[in-house]
């Protein structure tokens, strides 16, 4: 049985940021990730981030990832890669598979920063090779430097759909269209404008009816939707494509929180079932914290801030930070978080997070 | 061994020409630094791969999209999530079935086979 | 045409933006045109301007306001905007031409002296354009700034370019 003070599951932006905060305060941190390399989704993000200087505005995602990693290494955090946390048990014990062996790790505090998973959209032909998640396309292009197709259709016009479409253009593919079921574009106007400028149509009130092909995707049939989300017969349009990307939302990866007995609330704006937590990022199970997309699907910038918040709160609870020091640091993070959760896009998420936090302590 | 370049077209056993889908030059990521090139075998054909990259990446770089066929209806499957969660990309690797090729790194001399069903049986 | 429905700013939406210079200022010489229309927490443009000509302030969701008399058209804001929404327009370039600085993140990188196609906000080819400068400084972190010359009446329309196919190196 191994021991640590803080076990962090997931070395993405939230986990890395929490590790930096906690380790800086003196906490013994073990950072665990199932992948061979840490960084979560950060290394796929080749676009410049928004926000202010404190939020790393203007810096590309992968660059932010590298800076966080350097910090984590410099602080001597114990990093376990290629390690799957398969279970969470009483007395804060984690079951971890590493190098084909099972390891038990007992921690004083646990932070679950396991992120979110892409949703799928089922339609006839969706199982054909060539239908992939937008995140999968990003991984193939930006991490593995492989183009998954030459003519693509993107389903979904949220920021993920818009950004990955732009990245497909940068990688040398053609994007025939971005398809959006709602009557409005879901993501930022600037992301949409970049695509329209380069000839990519964004078709609202449209969905994919079916994908066709013998062994692989060869064509997609699009169809228009009426005011009740119903397909309008006769509006079908066939397009020759070899890649169909699904950017239809993300859902928190919260199995470990379920196992641990955390209470959840269903909040669609945050991606579905989300573990209830307070402003210290602590769940309804004392000593178990959450941060990042697992606590509600938002962005990398909010994930980093929530990670910092959790790291500070955990350091405080372990006695490494005085309460006034912790309060000041948390105050700075909360200010930056409220900046990120403002404006017409952020406001909705802030209200959803407030609703979630209000459920804490309610029986 | 011919030099590995973006312009090479790779020929498979049945005369199908597959194009190289490797992104050699990228406006943000720059020129691809390849690392060690190794040879792997896919359904009996030798293809080149970059040591350590996921098997799925090597296959997709060679234009290959169909990785396995389902047990009951023999339907083709390929990469879907690319992150080790969905199991669509499983193939038989060095005799072992159900290997998630999107998270398993390539090693020189690896033998990879299209999987039929959920075991290592050939169709 | 609207930003929310089509991803393209209509002429009305553009005219009302605080980042839009006046016609008079446009005719005087190079000036920034900030096509930022949504309240998103974001302010690197404010930090990038050495002359204090871009104001966002607090909260950082404020739309950037152009102080046109302070703007020299230096173009440092162009690669700084993560949304690629800032351009520099120089109506004084010549009698019938204007020069535009646009952010560009694709390959092949256009070269000085090349002719490219000028694309409007809907991606339609509206003119051909001469590339007079292609700047890809390390400071810009891979957002190149391409200066093109277009007919004056296209200066407020062209926002993208299509390089003609060239055999890559």
Residues in chain A within 8 Å Cβ distance of C142: 60
Phi, psi of A9 (to 5 degrees): -100, 110
Reported as a single tens digit per residue, the pLDDT across A40-58 is 998 888 888 898 888 888 8
Q: Which of A48, A192, A343 sits opposite C82 (nearest CB)?
A: A48
Reported as a single tens digit per residue, the pLDDT across A276-294 is 999 999 999 999 999 999 9
Average model confidence (pLDDT) across chain B: 85
How far C82 CA lies from chain A's nearest CA (Å)?
5
Classified as helix, coil or strand, B107 is: coil
With cut-offs at 50, 70 and 90, classify the pLDDT of residue A62. Answer: confident
Tell me the chain C residues in contact with residue A57 when contact means C-beta distances shorter than 8 Å.
42-44, 47, 82
| pLDDT at B15 (0 to 100) | 34
Q: CA nearest B81 in A: which residue?
A: A136
Task: State both tokens at B95.
Answer: 């005799």
Say if residues A129 and A216 touch (Cβ distance below 8 Å). Answer: yes
Spatial CA neighbour of A268 closest among A254, A281, A252, A288: A252
Distance CA A38, CA B57 (A): 19
Decide the pairing of beta strands A78-80 and A29-32.
Answer: parallel
Q: How close A139 comes to chain C (CA, Å)? A: 19
Which residues in chain C touch residue B26, judged by CB atoms under 8 angstroms apart? 107
Token digits of residue C109: 């990188």
Which pLDDT value is given to residue C166? 58
- CA–CA separation, C141 vs A158, rounded Å? 25
Whether A189 sits inside 8 A of C3 (CB atoms) is: yes
Q: What is the ipTM, given to two decimal places?
A: 0.95
Q: Are strands A202-203 and A264-267 parallel, antiparallel or unpaired?
A: unpaired
Nearest CB to A50; choose among C82, C105, C122: C82
Structure confidence by residue, pLDDT tens digits, A292-351:
999 999 999 999 999 999 999 999 999 999 999 999 999 999 999 999 999 999 999 999
Number of H helices, E strands in chain A: 9, 19
Collect the ranges in chain C with pLDDT lower than 50.
Answer: 167-169
Chain B residue closest in CA terms to A243: B65
Show which subunits contact A, needing at least 3 CB pairs below 8 angstroms. B, C
| pLDDT at residue B13, as a whole number | 32
CA–CA distance, B119 with B99 (Å, rounded to integer):
10
Could C119 and A199 be called an inter-chain contact, meaning their C-beta atoms sit closer than 8 Å?
yes
Taking an 8 Å cut-off on Cβ atoms, the answer to whether A199 and C41 are in contact is: no
Interface test mutation site (partner B, options A129, A141, A170, A217, max chain B beta carbons within 10 A): A129
Give exposure, A332-348, as e/b (b: 16+ Cβ within 10 Å).
ebeebbebbbbbebbee
Identify the H or E element spanning A101: strand A101-112
Contact yes or no for B65 and A36 at CB 8 A: no
Instruction: Write out the two tokens for C44.
Output: 């690197």
Contact predicate A294/A306, CB 8 Å: no
Place of tokens 């089509």: C6
Residues in chain A closer than 8 A to B47 (CB atoms): none
pLDDT at B17: 40
* Mean predicted lDDT score pLDDT of chain A: 95
Beta-carbon count within 10 A of A323 CB: 9
pLDDT at A49: 87
The per-residue b/e assignment along C67-76, b for 16 or more CB within 10 angstroms, e otherwise, is ebeebebbbb
Task: Confirm or reject contact between A361 and chain C (CB < 8 A).
Answer: no
Cα angle A7-A59-A112, degrees, rounded to a multiple of 5:
15
pLDDT tens for C61-90 read: 999 999 999 999 999 999 999 999 999 999
Q: Does A144 touch chain B (CB under 8 A)?
A: yes
Of A143, A147, A114, which is closest to residue A132 (Cα–Cα)? A147
Best of C142, C143, C161, C163 to mutate (most B CBs within 10 Å, chain B): C142
């Amino acid at each position: 049985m191994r021991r640590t003070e803080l076990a962090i599951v997931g070395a993405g932006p939230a986990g890395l940021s929490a590790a930096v905060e906690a380790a800086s305060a003196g906490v013994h941190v073990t950072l665990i990730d199932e992948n061979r390399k840490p960084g979560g989704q950060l290394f796929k993000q080749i676009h410049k981030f928004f926000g202010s200087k404190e939020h790393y505005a203007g810096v590309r995602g992968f660059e932010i990832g590298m800076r966080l990693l350097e910090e984590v290494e410099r602080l001597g955090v114990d990093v376990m890669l290629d390690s799957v946390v398969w279970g969470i048990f009483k007395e804060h014990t984690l079951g971890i598979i590493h190098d084909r062996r099972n390891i038990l790790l007992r921690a004083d505090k646990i932070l679950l920063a396991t992120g979110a998973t892409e949703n799928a959209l089922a339609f006839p032909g969706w199982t054909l090779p060539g239908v992939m998640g937008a995140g999968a396309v990003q991984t193939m292009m930006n991490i593995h430097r492989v183009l998954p197709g030459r003519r693509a259709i993107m389903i979904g016009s949220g920021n993920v759909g818009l950004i990955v479409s732009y990245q497909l253009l940068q990688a040398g593919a053609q994007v025939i269209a971005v398809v959006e079921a709602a009557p409005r574009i879901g993501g930022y106007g600037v992301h949409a404008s970049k695509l329209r400028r380069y000839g990519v149509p964004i078709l609202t009130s449209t969905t994919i009816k079916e994908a066709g092909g013998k062994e692989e995707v060869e064509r997609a049939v699009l169809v228009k939707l009426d005011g009740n989300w119903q397909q309008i017969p006769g509006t079908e349009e066939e397009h020759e494509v070899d890649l169909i990307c699904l950017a239809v939302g993300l859902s928190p990866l919260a199995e470990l929180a379920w196992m641990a007995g955390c209470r959840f609330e269903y909040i669609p704006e945050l991606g579905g079932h989300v573990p209830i937590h307070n402003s210290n990022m602590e769940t309804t199970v004392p000593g178990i914290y959450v941060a990042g997309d697992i606590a509600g699907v938002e962005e990398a910038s909010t994930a980093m801030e929530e990670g910092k918040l959790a790291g500070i709160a955990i350091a405080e609870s372990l006695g490494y930070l005085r309460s006034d020091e912790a309060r000041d640091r948390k105050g700075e993070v909360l200010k930056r978080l409220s900046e990120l959760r403002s404006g017409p896009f952020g406001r909705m998420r802030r209200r959803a997070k407030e609703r979630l936090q209000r459920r804490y302590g309610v029986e | 061994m011919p030099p590995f370049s973006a312009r090479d077209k790779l020929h498979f056993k049945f005369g199908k020409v597959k194009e190289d889908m490797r992104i050699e030059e990228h406006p943000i990521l720059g020129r691809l630094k390849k690392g060690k090139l190794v040879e792997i075998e896919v359904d009996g054909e030798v293809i080149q791969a970059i040591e350590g990259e996921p098997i799925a990446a090597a296959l997709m770089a060679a234009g290959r999209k169909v990785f396995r066929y389902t047990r009951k209806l023999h339907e083709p499957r390929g990469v879907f999530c690319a992150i080790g969660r969905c199991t669509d990309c499983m193939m038989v690797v060095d005799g072992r079935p159900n290997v998630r090729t999107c998270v398993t790194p390539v090693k020189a001399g690896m033998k990879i086979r299209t999987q039929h069903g959920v075991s290592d049986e050939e169709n | 045409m609207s930003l929310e429905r089509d991803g393209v700013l209509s002429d009305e939406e553009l005219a009302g933006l605080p980042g839009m210079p006046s016609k008079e200022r446009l005719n005087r010489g190079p000036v920034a045109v900030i096509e930022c229309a949504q309240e998103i927490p974001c302010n690197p443009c404010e930090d990038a301007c050495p002359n204090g000509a871009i104001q966002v302030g607090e909260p950082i969701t404020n739309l950037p306001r152009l102080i046109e008399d302070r703007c020299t058209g230096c173009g440092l804001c162009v690669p700084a905007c993560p949304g690629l929404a800032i351009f520099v327009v120089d109506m004084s370039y010549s009698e019938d031409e204007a020069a535009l600085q646009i952010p560009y993140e694709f390959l092949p990188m256009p070269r000085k002296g090349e002719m490219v196609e000028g694309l409007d906000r809907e991606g339609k080819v509206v003119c051909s354009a001469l590339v007079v400068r292609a700047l890809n400084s390390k400071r810009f972190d891979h957002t190149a700034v391409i200066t093109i010359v277009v007919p004056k009446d296209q200066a407020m329309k062209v926002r993208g370019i299509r390089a003609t196919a060239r055999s890559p190196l």
